[in-house]
Amino acid sequence: MPLTRFFRSSPSSLQRRSFLRRIPVVLAVACGILLYSAVGAAAAQAPVGLGTAGGFAVLAGAGVTNTGATTITGNVGTFPTPSETGFGSVTLNGANHAGDAVTQQAKTDLTTGYNSAAGAGPGTAVPTELGGRTLTPGVYTGTTLGITGTLTLNTLGDPSAVFIFQTASTLVTASTSSVIVLNGGVACNVFWQVASSATLGTNSHLIGSVLALTSITATTGATIDGRLLARNGAVTLDHNTITSQTCAASTTATTVGSTTNTTSAAGAHATGGTGTGGGAAGTGKSPSGSLGSGSSPIVPGSTLTSGLALTGFSPRLPLLLGGLLLASGFLLLRVSNRRRASR
CB 199 within 8 A of CB 210: no
Q: What is the mean pLDDT of residues 323-341?
A: 67
What digits encode the pLDDT tens for the residues 90-116? 999 999 999 999 999 999 999 999 999
Q: Between vectors from CA 258 to CA 253 and to CA 293, what angle results, nearest 5°?
A: 75
More confident position, 185 or 190 = 190
Neighbouring residues of 305: CB distance < 8 A, sequence distance ≥ 6: 134, 150, 152, 180, 182
Is residue 250 predicted with pLDDT exceeding 70?
A: no
What digits encode the pLDDT tens for the residues 140-162? 999 999 999 999 999 999 988 99
CB 273 within 8 A of CB 281: yes
User: Does residue 54 sit in helix, strand or coil?
Assistant: helix
Helix intervals (H) in the chain: 3-43, 101-118, 316-342
What digits encode the pLDDT tens for the residues 300-312? 333 333 333 343 4
Q: Provide the CA 160 distance to its chain's centre, in angstroms.
A: 10
pLDDT value, residue 325? 63
User: Does residue 181 sit in helix, strand or coil?
Assistant: strand
Neighbouring residues of 91: CB distance < 8 A, sequence distance ≥ 6: 69, 70, 71, 72, 275, 277, 278, 279, 280
Strand spans (E) along 68-214: 70-73, 75-85, 90-93, 96-98, 124-125, 133-135, 138-142, 145-147, 150-154, 163-167, 171-173, 178-182, 190-194, 198-200, 205-212
Least confidently predicted of 67-76, 151-160, 191-200, 325-334 = 325-334
Q: What is the sign, positive or negative, of the torsion defined by CA atoms of 291, 294, 296, 301?
A: positive
- % of the chain beyond a pLDDT of 90: 54
* CA neighbours closer than 13 Å in the CB half-sphere of residue 176: 1
Tell me, what DSSP letter sits at residue 159? Answer: T
Tell me, what DSSP letter sits at residue 175? Answer: T
User: Does residue 47 sit in helix, strand or coil?
Assistant: coil
Round the average pLDDT of the chain to a whole number and report it: 76
Rounded distance between C-alpha atoms, residue 152 and residue 133, angstroms: 6
Pairing status of strand 259-263 against strand 271-272: antiparallel
Q: What is the mean pLDDT of residues 281-287?
A: 33
Largest CA distance in the chain: 106
Least confidently predicted of 41-45, 54-58, 120-124 = 41-45
What digits encode the pLDDT tens for the residues 59-83? 999 999 999 999 999 999 999 999 9
Q: What is the mean pLDDT of residues 11-19?
A: 56
Strand partners, 71: 91, 241
The whole-model pTM stands at 0.67
CB 315 within 8 A of CB 43: yes
Is residue 84 predicted with pLDDT exceeding 80?
A: yes
Domain boundaries, the chain: 51-299, 313-343
What digits encode the pLDDT tens for the residues 171-187? 999 999 999 999 877 78
More confident position, 22 or 196 = 196
pLDDT value, residue 159? 85
pLDDT band of residue 271 (cuts 50, 70, 90) is very low
Rounded distance between C-alpha atoms, residue 55 and residue 160, angstroms: 19
Strand partners, 91: 71
Q: What is the mean pLDDT of residues 188-193?
A: 95
